[in-house]
A and B are shown apart, each in its own frame.
Chain A
Amino acid sequence: MPDITLTHVTKNYGSHGQLAVDGLNLTIANGEFMCLLGPSGCGKTTTLRMIAGLEHLSDGEIRIGDRVVDSLGSGTFVPPEQRRLGLVFQSYALWPHMTVERNIDFGLRLRKLPEAERRAKVNDVMEKLRIRDYAKRYPAQLSGGQQQRVALARMLAVNPDILLLDEPLSNLDATLRLEMRAELRRLHEEFGTTIVFVTHDQWEAMTLATTIAVMNGGRLQQVGAPDDIYSRPVNRFVAEFIGNPPINMIDLGDTSSQGGLASRLFSDRPLAGATAVGIRPEEITLVPNADAVPLGLLRLESIMPTGGSWIMEFSLGAERLFHATHLRPMARPGDMVACFAMPEGLHLFDAKGRRIEENEIRATGAAQPAGISRPALLPA
């Protein structure tokens, strides 16, 4: 099965020339379960539709395998019906005037397969997705989860090389989402199909994808494994977009002013042009530890239970710091609590919002996080 290669893919709409997708370069490897993740309006759905052939490129080239399917340079455009891929829409887009069976059979009829083979295939895919009982029903008589499985079945029946999914889980309730998530993973392993899906929901992306491409404002921000994206965000946008509760972002602009969180983290002036530091809520700890950077005593403002875990809100003057933990909190709101930051959980960003790597920090010889280079300053 083929790779999908996007080279400088650009799309602008209308006369205003707004760029929906701006010079996107991305390779989706064979057998990958790739997620395009980003806030609404970031161009992810447009990208998916361009891969499907439902939108034309404004610039660039898309290749499936070594076949150019859309290229502005050579003027090639392969219409969607000849791209051998499947697309499941957010709204499922089942044809309301056909039964479940007929919906699934539609693509097979187009391929002019003999009747017996068609019936076997339809039954097989209905079996796999556990919708056999609904074969004779109309889509309006099905629940959201059932409709989604029919939509999937309709595309899987024709054995596409590539399966595209637009917000596949967004219309489902919590239980069904978990179920469908497992189902999609199973399908990916069983059929070995390359799957590309689009979502604005990081939970969906993290749990499903083998690779995530984070997009914002039509531009690609970062591509990587879910863990990479989470633990090594390449810029402030990715750091702040991924993670729930969101990352604590501390401005380093005023480290000179005594008493702020920044000055407790770093004894010296901002380093290597760093203007902000991010700390994930779960990288804050209340347990003293030799490596940890002490943040001093912070006032506990509130505790929000999230079922088996807790989010604690601390304050220092006007600054806020969130801590997520699986340990039942002992302190009460109003208490002063000693907090620490795990040094490997510190993410430094420069004025343009780019990540400053650790080796960069060493190379420039700038001051390092207090906890790494020297004994931490204890609060006054």
Chain B
Amino acid sequence: MAIVQIGDAARTRAPEGAWTLYYLTRAFASRMSSILLWQPLLNTASVALGAIVLSMSVGGVLAWLINRTELAGRGWLATALIIPFMLPTWTLALAWTTIFKNRTVGGQPGWLENLGFATPDWLAYGRLPMIVILSLHYAPFVILILGSALQRLDAQLEDSARILGASRRRVAFQIVLPLMRPALLSCGLLILADCIGEFAVPYVLGLPVGFDTLSTSLYRAISTRQTGMAAVMAAVIMTIGVLTLYIDTRMMREARRFAIVGGKGAMDRRRPLGRWQFPATGFALVFFAIGVVIPLGTLFLSTIMRIPGRFTPENFTFDYWIGSNLDTVALRDGILLTPEFWSAGLNTLIIIGSASLASGVLGLLVGYVVIRSPFATLGAFLRQITFMPYLVPGIAFAAAFLTLFAVPRGPIPALYGTSIILILALIADQMPFASRSGIAAMAQLGKEPEEAARVAGAGWWRRMVSIVLPIQKRALASAILLPFISGIKGVSLFIILAVPATDVLTTYSLRLVDYNYTQAANAVVLMIALLALAGTILINRLTGNGIAKGLES
């Protein structure tokens, strides 16, 4: 970003390849910088903050209801309320446009518009819907993190206060809340880091009305070949990510100072809701409806309607799924009969599948080395280096990969346009999670089983294959499935690195959105959501409550 890029020689009045401050000045201190950087930054910040406040208040209440009250159906809700987090964010975004889209942009109008309600721009696009959608997506994350923190909190800490005469309210504010503070702050910061890198939602809801965020600006810079500007944007995003996570790490260290070994939990810590039972259950169900039922239902309905929002029998059709020789310009067959769909699906499975497999196994190996290595420094180094990619939001990460592998470097050929670059980027992107869960899994497995095998005469390979892997097979399965889910719902890596030949389902659906094939796009998104859901259910089956644990480690 400090080197004059191809084609910019005339503007910068310096030869190509020379050092320059042109891009930095242009981004930070020129007449353009308000449009280029400050406005997107402001937009990103306002959306992120709105999403944090809303998701933490909604998620916090739900976490408390599920873990500390006798909420009706809480066992079922504990799983059901997590689903929005497992759906790709732009599932919600597309469902939103399907309902609220107005005449500001072309293509088929939304349902409300067709039913005769003119939806204003502030409701259809931009800040408000983005905040709502990101909140829906991250509230389950809050439920998971706060819920597990609440469960781990030693109930005797609360009991002691009550014995001394504190009311429930006082216990909540003077004991529980201060002890939950690290979890709350950490939760907020992680959401912030994720929101800054979020691409799909602003792409669907922001771009049509020129509501730019940092990630869409970056995308625009890359797609218009302004590599210098793209580098500046990527650097800004990275810096924010690194800062956020630095604060988070510092705070976690601070929090550990207070850590104390807990005793056995109490039994009667759930409180009856009494007359609040009905509204509380209603609240949880409403969240489930808005976060899961309505978006998925909307998307499905939209794929079987010719004209959006017209609920008459002759308007319904399965043509967009299984029809052929349709009366359209392109995409004349239903989505399930289109070869591109299947090739994108196959690509998805191959690329994301092999990347997940690799990162799962690598993660476990990293865990093995970190825990077993006799050299403490090597372990610490590995732990650090595998966590590095987490500091960088996916979109900036992809941009870095693009510049790295767009041209041949030494023995490595230019990888851009191949699936290798996608797999490599995905593995690197998933390493933080994979290595964390590998370390956690290996830390729980004592040395003894392996030492016993060693005494019995087993070499390293045999110990791995016959002892370590079988014991860790559940951990390994979730270490493969978690990256798979997050890969399948992630957009930012692919949007930068994929080309039509390496189309995966996500990029394919976004392309369809671009061409305004709403029904087809929604159908593809539905399929992605189903895949992510199936993966989630599989993990829950395999590990009980593996998702919460996987996210924490």
Contacts and interface: CB of A to CB of B under 8 A. Distances in A.
Given A54-B268, A87-B159, A140 B258 contact: yes
A38 interface: no
B257 A82 contact: no
B377 interface: no
B223 interface: no
Interface in B323-363: none
B262 interface: yes
A208 B154 CA distance: 28
A158 B160 CA distance: 13
A54 B159 contact: yes
Given A56-B268, A87-B159, A155-B163, A96 B258 contact: yes
Interface string B157-171: 101111111110010
Interface stretch (A106-114, A231-239, A302-310, A357-365): A106-114
Interface string B178-222: 110000000000000000000000000000000000000000000
Contacts of A138: 257-258
B262 A91 contact: yes
A87 B170 CA distance: 18
Contact of B267 (A55, A80, A106, A158): A55
A70 to B, nearest CB: 12
Interface string B32-75: 00000000000000000000000000000000000000000000
Contacts of B166: 81, 106, 110
A80 B260 contact: no
A90 interface: yes
A82 B179 CA distance: 25
Nearest to A86: B163
Interface string A206-226: 000000000000000000000
B260 A140 contact: yes
A81 B156 contact: no
A367 to B, nearest CB: 50
Interface in A77-136: 79-83, 85-87, 89-97, 106-107, 110-111
A52 interface: yes
B156 A91 contact: yes
Contacts of B105: none
Nearest to A80: B162
Contacts of A94: 157, 260
Contacts of A52: 159, 163
Given A87-B163, A91-B261, A110 B156 contact: no
Nearest to B179: A97
A96 to B, nearest CB: 4
Nearest to B268: A55
Contacts of B170: 110
A93 B165 contact: no
Contacts of B175: 95
Given A91-B263, A97-B179, A110 B258 contact: no
Most A C-beta atoms less than 10 A away, residue of B159, B161, B167, B260: B260
Most A C-beta atoms less than 10 A away, residue of B159, B175, B178, B179: B159
A138 B165 CA distance: 22
A73 B261 CA distance: 40
Contacts of B156: 89-91, 93
B266 interface: yes
Interface string B377-403: 000000000000000000000000000
A168 interface: no
A139 interface: yes
B415 to A, nearest CB: 50
A149 interface: no
Contacts of A89: 156, 159-160, 263
Contacts of B161: 95, 106
Contacts of B259: 96, 140
Contacts of A91: 154, 156, 261-264
A93 B159 contact: yes
B258 A82 contact: no
Given A94-B260, A97-B179, A140-B259, A107 B162 contact: no
A97 B183 CA distance: 14
Nearest to A144: B261
Nearest to B256: A140
13 contacts: A56-B268, A81-B163, A81-B167, A82-B165, A90-B263, A91-B156, A96-B179, A107-B164, A107-B165, A110-B166, A138-B258, A154-B160, A158-B165
Interface of A: 13, 49, 52, 54-56, 79-83, 85-87, 89-97, 106-107, 110-111, 138-140, 151, 154-155, 158
